[in-house]
Amino acid sequence: MPIEVLMPALSPTMEEGTLSKWLKAEGDPVSAGDILAEIETDKATMEVEAVDEGVLGKIMVADGTENVKVNTPIAMILEEGEDKSALDAAAKGDKTPEKSEAKSEDKAEAPKEEASEENGDDDTEKPAGPPLAATPLLKPDDDPEIPDGTEMVKTSVREALRDAMAEEMRRDEAVFVMGEEVAEYQGAYKVTQGLLQEFGDMRVIDTPITEHGFTGLGVGAALTGLKPIVEFMTFNFAMQAMDQIINSAAKTLYMSGGQMGCPIVFRGPNGAAARVAAQHSQDYSAWYSQIPGLKVVMPWTAADAKGLLKAAIRDPNPVVFLENEMLYGQSFDVPKLDDYVLPIGKAKIARPGTDATIVSWGIGMTYAVKAAEALDEMGISAELIDLRTIRPLDIDTVIESVKKTGRCVTVEEGWPICSVSSEIAKQVQEKAFDWLDAPILSITGKDVPMPYAANLEVLAKPSVPELIEAVKAVCYR
């Protein structure tokens, strides 16, 4: 009976891809290990290998088809002795074709994580049915600073970051980007895609795997007035460079009595990806936010990623720009403006509400949005605050909201002890104690190293139900 070849998942979280090219035609013999087709995700082009022997009987998804869902049948392979009639039989449903998951091989050995629309909390309870959406998220064009009628372009966070760098590099010759695989490879997560081609290898610089050394090199160049963007393949690897970030980049302005600043951006994915376990899954937002002399930005949407990265590159201070791999592939409206720059240090109300304030930032916002939608259905109106910048912390926006709602819940993927949430809770109780109607609660990652097992990983992260329960609790519901 013919064997179905299914659209393979190229990472644990991939949902769809483009079938860019078939390398075998119908009627071609196929052996195990033969490359059948190339599949393109937003991050990489991968080859699909056959795992069965036979003849390529039928191509079911044509070259160039976009958005092919994982596990969609893309071809049928006829086994020895079978002919086309077997295909017809299979199509008529006389026999159930055997399923065969094609083996995929990442051409470039890109890390096998991929952005996801979901957030790893699929196993958790979700609000049933569509939310009432009484209070939709505010769109970038609700921002009074964006002119009415500005065109919005759906852009992934990955593209928005690339666009921000490209625009700033066009604008200022002193800006350059360096890091592992940023040039020839086009970025381990394709964030620097196309930059080498546009700006050349003097400004888009592949470094050896040498975080401590290249971070110090970037800082030294910044002390002379250049404006490096140092990409860490992930912030987990920046721990090796922590001394240069803190002792050299953050402190030199103060130690020099204001003479020698360090205009540099340290950027890259931060926090947990998917199934990469303890050493590759850590959120550093609290660590860097403790350091005077640093700014720490952690955007959620593509528009914020773009506007804030442009601001970070122009900032005369060292900026730690914490991205998230799970967000790279997510798309948001980005205003089509020649120069979209957002202020660092300004939170935004992502969604107005009246009953409770949920404060989050970066990937944490994905939990907050889902929880708020579910809470709507329960008759609880949550106001969502997206901090966007953690240092300097726009506590005023939080306080203003808490004075309105009387309740505050924070959500973040970072660890609970000495977290950004701890700091927010401390400042809110200091500045809005008399307005609070309930204790401040925090939903965070659990106080454990990130486990590998899928079920444990879900447990180690915060969840939407936990957040919903926390908001209900502070509302005494």
Partner 1 sequence: MATKAQKTSETASKSRTRSAKAKSDAKKPASADTPPALTEDQERHAYREMLLIRRFEEKAGQMYGMGLIGGFCHLYIGQEAVVIGMQMALEEGDQVITGYRDHGHMLACGMDPKGVMAELTGRRGGLSKGKGGSMHMFSREKDFYGGHGIVGAQVSLGNGIAFANRYRKNDRVCLTYFGDGAANQGQVYESFNMASLWKLPVVFVIENNKYAMGTSTQRATAQGDFSQRGASFDIEGEQVDGMDVRAVREAGLRAVERCRKGEGPYILEMITYRYRGHSMSDPAKYRSKEEVQKMRTENDPIERVRVRMIDRGLASEDDLKAVDKEVRGIVGEAAEFAQTDPEPDVSELYTDILR
Exposure string for 48-75, b = 16+ CB within 10 A, e = fewer: bbbbbebbbbbbebeeeeeeeebeebbb
The residue whose two tokens read 């952005």 is 115
The verdict on 314 binding partner 1 (CB under 8 A) reads no
The verdict on 289 binding partner 1 (CB under 8 A) reads no
The one catalytic residue in 113, 159, 280, 413 is 280
The verdict on 170 binding partner 1 (CB under 8 A) reads no
The verdict on 179 binding partner 1 (CB under 8 A) reads no
The verdict on 27 binding partner 1 (CB under 8 A) reads no
How far apart are the C-alpha atoms of 41 and 263, rounded to whole Å?
34
* Cβ nearer to partner 1, comparing 102 with 297: 297
The verdict on 316 binding partner 1 (CB under 8 A) reads yes
State in angstroms the smallest separation of the CB of 432 from partner 1.
24
- Considering only CA atoms, which of 437, 411, 439 is closest in space to residue 426? 439
SS3 360: strand
SS3 435: helix
The answer to whether residues 150 and 338 touch, using CB atoms and an 8 Å cutoff, is no
Tokens of 56: 């390529």
The verdict on 268 binding partner 1 (CB under 8 A) reads no
Position among 186, 192, 252, 405 found at the interface with partner 1 (CB under 8 A): 252
Position among 215, 270, 281, 366 found at the interface with partner 1 (CB under 8 A): 215
Half-sphere exposure at residue 22, Cβ-oriented, CA atoms within 13 angstroms = 18
Tokens of 49: 């290998």
The residue whose two tokens read 């013919």 is 2
The one catalytic residue in 168, 211, 412, 413 is 211
State in angstroms the smallest separation of the CB of 190 from partner 1.
24
For residue 48, give the H/E element and its range: strand 45-49
Q: How distant is the alpha carbon of residue 225 from its chain centre? A: 30
The verdict on 374 binding partner 1 (CB under 8 A) reads no
The verdict on 293 binding partner 1 (CB under 8 A) reads yes
- Considering only CA atoms, which of 63, 1, 72 is closest in space to residue 26? 63
Position among 94, 125, 243, 437 found at the interface with partner 1 (CB under 8 A): 243
State in angstroms the smallest separation of the CB of 265 from partner 1.
14
The verdict on 184 binding partner 1 (CB under 8 A) reads no
State in angstroms the smallest separation of the CB of 262 from partner 1.
9
Position among 260, 337, 349, 438 found at the interface with partner 1 (CB under 8 A): 260
Position among 129, 224, 338, 433 found at the interface with partner 1 (CB under 8 A): 224
280 is catalytic: yes
198 is catalytic: no
How far apart are the C-alpha atoms of 359 and 349, rounded to whole Å?
9
Q: Which active-site residues does the annotation give?
A: 211, 280
Positions that interact with partner 1 (CB under 8 A): 176, 202, 207-208, 210, 212-226, 243-244, 247-248, 252-261, 292-293, 295, 316-317
